[in-house]
């Protein structure tokens, strides 16, 4: 089993370009696994973790409800945003500047074959990271992601999750609101959940801006520990 992970920080990158790059990595891992089974080979499958920040974009999961997008095509253009229906689970979400997005493209057969455990590990990585800033965050029963004040009228989501998996290979991932413009969430019903708010780390901490490079480093630290993995690179910098 290969427990090394190639960590890549893509910087500020268009959503469609990043999606295509994810698909390229995802399909290459699948191809290796299929070859191993057909030819009884033992080729090692790689693992990746991509960090990225996108321009304003709304994405709708394969089972999502289009009516949860509250903008027309013309209004999307006016706001400088794009829209894509994609092949992950979950409903609609927003990505944009000030948000740390992570796409683990893993062969889970290198780690464990349990999608539920995989999702909980991603949530735990965020919960542990935010705890370093003094925030108590948690899961909300029946709703993926990471939340504050669960079970109260003030419940609000700070991190969304949505993944795709095939033959135990994953893609898509998590989006943590660090310094994001919350106004863009007013244009959707986030994750199809009515009546619950969205928040960002800088708002919760009462500061103008949180260091996003520091956030990525902390997320990576907890990710590697939870998955008992090591980075492919000798040194990872953001």
CA–CA separation, 119 and 121 (whole Å): 5
Q: Are strands 156-166 and 138-140 parallel, antiparallel or unpaired?
A: unpaired
Q: Identify whether the C-beta of residue 49 lies closer than 8 Å to the C-beta of residue 23.
A: no
Residue 88 to residues 12, 49, 71, 175, 224, Cα–Cα distance (Å): 21, 17, 21, 13, 23
CA–CA separation, 186 and 69 (whole Å): 10
- Cβ-based neighbours of 176, under 8 Å, separated by 6 or more: 99, 100, 101, 102, 126, 129, 146, 158, 159, 201, 215, 219
Strands of 57-60's sheet in order across: 82-85, 57-60, 92-95
**Both tokens assigned to 49:** 């973790």
> Coil, helix or strand for 135?
coil
The verdict on whether 159 is a catalytic residue reads: no
**DSSP H helix total and E strand total for the chain:** 5, 12
92, 188, 191, 224: the active-site residue = 191
So which residues are the catalytic ones? 191
């Amino acid at each position: 089993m290969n427990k090394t992970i190639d960590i890549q920080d893509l910087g500020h990158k268009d959503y469609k370009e990043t999606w295509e790059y994810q698909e390229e990595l995802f399909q290459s891992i699948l191809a290796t696994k299929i070859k191993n089974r057909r030819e009884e080979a033992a080729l090692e499958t790689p693992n990746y973790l991509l960090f990225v920040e996108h321009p304003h974009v709304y994405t709708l999961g394969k089972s999502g409800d289009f009516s949860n997008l509250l903008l027309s095509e013309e209004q999307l253009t006016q706001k400088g945003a794009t829209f894509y229906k994609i092949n992950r689970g979950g409903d609609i979400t927003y990505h944009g500047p000030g948000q740390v997005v992570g796409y683990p493209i893993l062969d889970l057969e290198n780690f464990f074959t349990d999608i539920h455990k995989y999702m909980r590990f991603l949530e735990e990585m965020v919960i542990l990271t935010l705890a370093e800033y003094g925030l108590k965050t948690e899961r909300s029963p029946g709703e993926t992601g990471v939340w504050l004040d669960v079970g109260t009228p003030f419940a609000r989501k700070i991190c969304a999750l949505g993944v795709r998996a095939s033959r135990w290979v994953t893609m898509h991932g998590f989006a943590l609101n660090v310094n994001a413009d919350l106004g863009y969430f007013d244009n959707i019903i986030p994750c199809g959940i009515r009546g619950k708010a969205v928040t960002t780390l800088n708002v919760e901490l009462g500061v103008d801006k949180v260091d996003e490079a520091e956030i990525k480093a902390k997320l990576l630290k907890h990710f590697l520990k939870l998955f008992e993995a090591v980075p492919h690179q000798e040194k990872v910098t953001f």
